[in-house]
Chains A and B, each alone.
Chain A
Amino acid sequence: MASSVPLHVNGQATTVEIDDPDMPLLYALRNNLGLHGPRFGCGLGQCGTCTVHIDGEAARSCITPISSIGPDQRIVTLEGLGSPESPHKVQKAFMDEQAVQCGYCINGMIMQAAALLARTPKPSEEDIRNELANNICRCGTHARILRAVKRAADAA
């Protein structure tokens, strides 16, 4: 049954038309709203490419049913974090460290790291590694990603 769901995404109130309340949030963000930041990687919550912030906390949008999102909950995607002209400090640090290979995982890395820094502005190396322990990168960009997150923390 088609229904209209209110969402608050990247600072704007919007609605999306859905026909299944079990549909994960990821598909609404990508297909209904045309966002590119959150990505499909596994659909199982294992890899982290779909990560968004819900009320400031990192969440796996591929396993978050859209019906579980309240109208007042604030969703932020990679696009909402910053732009090429005005990047968030974590995005800026990833650019400065050239911490990208194919970049498919990078949404998850940045969103997870940004959530960490919001919670723990001065994380230890171990904190960063543990925070990202469930985010997969296949190209082997890990070393750069770690440097980028440290740089962002130092920039704060």
Chain B
Amino acid sequence: MITSMASRRAFLGAGGSLVIGFALGGRALAQGQAPAPAGPSAPAGGPAVHKSVALDEVDGFLAIGADGKVTLFSGKVDLGTGIRTALTQMAAEELDVPVERITFVQGDTALTPDQGPTYGSLSIQNGGMQIRQAAATARRQLVTAAAQRLGVPAAELVVEDGTVRPRSGGQGLGYGELIGDRNFSLKVDKDIVTKDPANFRVVGKSVQRLDIPDKTTGRFTYMHDFRVDGMLHGRVVRPPGLQAQLQQVDESSVRNIPGLVKVVREGNFVGVVAQTEWGAIRAAQDLKLTWSNWEGLPEQSRLWEHVRATPVAKDDVTSNVGNAGEALGQGAKRLNATYDFAIHTHGSLGPSCAVAEIRDGLLTCWTASQMTHNLRKQLAAMMRMPEEKVRCIYLEGSGCYGRNGHEDATGDAALLSRAVEGRPVRVQWMRQDEHGWDPKGPPTLIDLRGAIDANGNITAWQSEFFIPQGAAGNVALVPAELAGLPHEESMAPGNIIQNSALPYSVPNVHTVCHRLENTLFKPSWIRTPGRMQNTYANECFLDELAAEAGADPMEFRLRHLKDERGLELMRRLAVLSRWESRPSPRRDAGASNGGGTATGRGVSYVKYELNRTYVGAVAEVEVDRGSGDIRVKRFFVVHDCGQVINPDGVRNQIEGNVLHTISRTLKEELTWDRSMVTSLDWGSYPVITFPEVPEIVMELLDRPGERPWGAGEPSAAVIPSAISNAVFDATGVRLRSVPFTPPRVKAALQQAS
């Protein structure tokens, strides 16, 4: 029988500097399998580890042992996207070592550089490029050292399999012999010439993911599996209303729970700690609490009135070309439309989980946070501890699609650990905690106006986006808010103004984001934040103008696109999807709206953030006119993210984007009453199921000579609009309110007929 009990002793006692890195590296090699993936000083909080975490030092990223084994220290973490494998490939390529010789250590504030949060599809584009430069710098240093020792000019040396040898043959020196267990003490050369893509051996190949054998056989240690000796189990009890005040705690209600250690109350923060997990669950269920009644939320049915009435803190004008207001009045035809996009939860499949302990004044947290370095600062503030006394160690959790509850659960664990004299406490959120208290993707409301001339060209475009203020940053920790401890006061919904401006060439454009003072639920970024909602509105409204012009939607886009890469992408998409050139809706779309099935196709395009990854998609749908049920039958995607590191990894991400976003577009919608979220399980927050999965056909435009861009989320941006446009093509009815649930679609069809 496998046991996952970590032996704390196993990683105690190691000391020293870089050598520790190796002891540690070897241990972390088994990060997936081993019960104790933490560093040598993990229980003591980590500051004892003297390893550079500097972003500008080679030692920040790389260490090579006497045995030639390489440890890669990455601040970017694998959220289930396969980044572990792709970043390892990038390092292996520059170092000329096999992938298997590299150990990947991720997101440990004591060991890995702060490469910024793992978000925004930036892990390859930014994080990978930093690693590539560090590895290339290291390689040059190793070749230089070998040249000296071998008495051969560096230009006459080659590196094969981690050994530097003369091109002409003869004895070589392994990396282990050249640097083994010593520091590089070398700045990363930001101008270094990295390997010519023509010579790539590993990058650009579909290397199999390093974590999958363990994940498919139950050998992998997720955050949720992590255990330490003497660990207690915690659960939180959240208020029944977002701002309800705790009035009374009846501890006698749980006195009979076996193994109960403590009921913890700090302000409105309530938790229980028990010897066993089941004891903690029972105590959290049975604990009698009295809360004030709080009913401060607006009625769900009046959401958009509420959003429109929310005071505007500031306006961000994201594009202003020509004079859109004037040109609108002069267009041959003019259109207005309003689009909206529901509030979404991340809904991670495994509710958030963390372990924390405080020992000798040092707080150590094992966490699935996408931003351990930022979290460390937040925890230090909340606990009123110096930042140096906090260490956060990343362990892979259930996939998060942005800032979900992982950070909050870590804060919960820290508070509960403090309440039991620093003993290690594992907090596992229950399903209702995750659905109820993870931060939400905010509601998005968009007004659009456009005009076309007699030739069917867009002459004017005006749009207004009603979205909360704030950018990417730290989202306040729920336990800090509830307990009245220091936390951020500002909102951080992500950089949600992105892609509000157009990727097309239009002579008169004005796009403005009205940044609202507040929003209903604490916002954060969920996969493709803002870019998805904004692209949805833009690409649907563009389709409306195309229909008004009587133009084929693909041809209409090509006509307004002046970007060569974008044009090539869309032409390829037309070929891939066997696009039939004709205007939408299809000629028989209005027929028999009373029943039967209608089929249609819709297209959408994005240039992510207007400066990177290009995606085009075509959706083929069937609409049941009787029930309003939409079935997506097929999706065609063409994707250009520049240089592709791992083609199968990119394909996996695109499939994920398509399916996750079909779910969001057709089904997902947070519900609430005046006090609290009411969609607290999978029954009340339905998501895509296997019978609804379409065929996905894709083409990657690999450009090895270009820089690599992100692939984790851009393709999600085009999904809602492609579906809406396909439904219009099928039925002549325009869907402007996500999600496109059967009752909503049915009502729209009935209204049209």
Q: Show the binding face of A for B, using Cβ within 8 Å.
A: 2, 9-10, 12, 14, 18-20, 23-24, 27, 30-31, 33-37, 39-44, 46-47, 49, 77-79, 81-84, 87, 91, 94-95, 98, 100-107, 110, 128-130, 132-146
Is B401 touching A138 in the complex (CB atoms < 8 A)?
yes
> Contacts A140-B658, A142-B688; is A104 near B350 (CB within 8 Å)?
yes
Interface residue B655 (Cβ < 8 Å from any Cβ of A): yes
Determine if A36 and B216 form an interchain contact, defined as CB atoms under 8 angstroms apart. Answer: no
- Min Cβ gap B631→A in Å is 13
Residue contact B209 to A34, C-beta cutoff 8 Å = no
A41 to B687, CA, bound (A): 15
With a CB–CB cut-off of 8 A, which chain A residues contact B258?
2, 19-20
Indicate whether B259 reaches chain A with its CB closer than 8 angstroms.
yes
Contact A98 B212 (CB under 8 A): yes
Smallest CB-CB separation from B648: which chain A residue?
Answer: A98
* A145 CB contacts on chain B under 8 angstroms: 690
Q: Mark B430-454, 1 if CB is under 8 A from A, else 0.
A: 1100000000000000000000000
Name the one of A40, A47, A135, A139 contacting B656, with C-beta atoms under 8 angstroms: A139
The tally of CB-CB contacts under 8 A between chains A and B is 201
Docked CA distance A98–B661 (Å): 21
Chain B residues positioned under 8 Å from A35 (CB to CB):
1-2, 4, 218
Enumerate 12 A-B pairs (CB-CB under 8 Å) in ascending A order.
Answer: A24-B278, A30-B277, A31-B276, A40-B351, A83-B219, A87-B217, A91-B217, A95-B212, A104-B222, A104-B397, A137-B349, A142-B688
Chain B: CB-nearest residue to A88: B217
- Per DSSP, chain B at the interface is loop
Collect the chain A residues with CB atoms within 8 Å of residue B225's CB: 30, 36
Min C-beta distance of B225 to chain A, whole Å: 5
Contacts A46-B681, A130-B691 hold; do A139 and B399 have CB atoms under 8 A apart? yes
B399 touches A138 (CB 8 A): yes
B residues contacting A by CB (< 8 A) are: 1-5, 79-82, 208-209, 211-222, 224-225, 227, 258-259, 276-279, 281-282, 347-351, 396-399, 401, 428, 430-431, 648, 652, 655-660, 663, 681-683, 687-691, 693, 695-696
- Which of B4, B212, B691 has the most CB atoms of chain A within a 10 A radius of its CB? B212
The 3 closest A-B pairs by CB, nearest first: A102-B80, A37-B218, A140-B659
Instruction: Give B695's nearest chain A residue, CB to CB.
Output: A143
Q: Is the beta-carbon distance between B217 and A83 smaller than 8 angstroms?
A: yes
Question: Cβ of A20: which chain B residues have Cβ within 8 Å of it?
Answer: 258, 278, 282
Q: Is the beta-carbon distance between B431 and A44 smaller than 8 angstroms?
A: yes
Q: How far is the CA of A128 from the CA of B690 in the complex (A)?
A: 9
Among B213, B219, B348, the residue within 8 A (CB) of A36 is B219
Contact A91 B690 (CB under 8 A): no
B348 proximity list for chain A (CB < 8 A): 104, 138
What are the residues of chain B within 8 A of A27 when measuring CB–CB?
A: 276-278
CB-based nearest A residue for B282: A20
Dominant secondary structure at the A interface: loop
Q: B276 touching A19 by the CB < 8 A rule?
A: yes
Residues of A within 8 A of B690 (CB): 128-130, 132-133, 135, 142, 145-146
CA distance A27 to B276 in the complex (A): 9
Complex formed: what's the CA distance from A15 to B5 in Å?
17
**Complex-state Cα separation, A103 to B348, whole angstroms:** 12
- B212–A103 contact, CB under 8 A? yes
**A34/B683 in contact, CB under 8 A:** no
Instruction: Name B399's contact: one of A47, A78, A101 (CB within 8 Å).
Output: A101
Kindly list chain A residues whose C-beta atoms are within 8 Å of the C-beta of B227: 34
Interface contact A39-B212, CB-CB below 8 Å: no
With the chains together, A20 CA to B282 CA distance in Å?
Answer: 10
Hey, which chain A residues are within 8 Å of B398, CB to CB? Answer: 41, 102, 104, 138
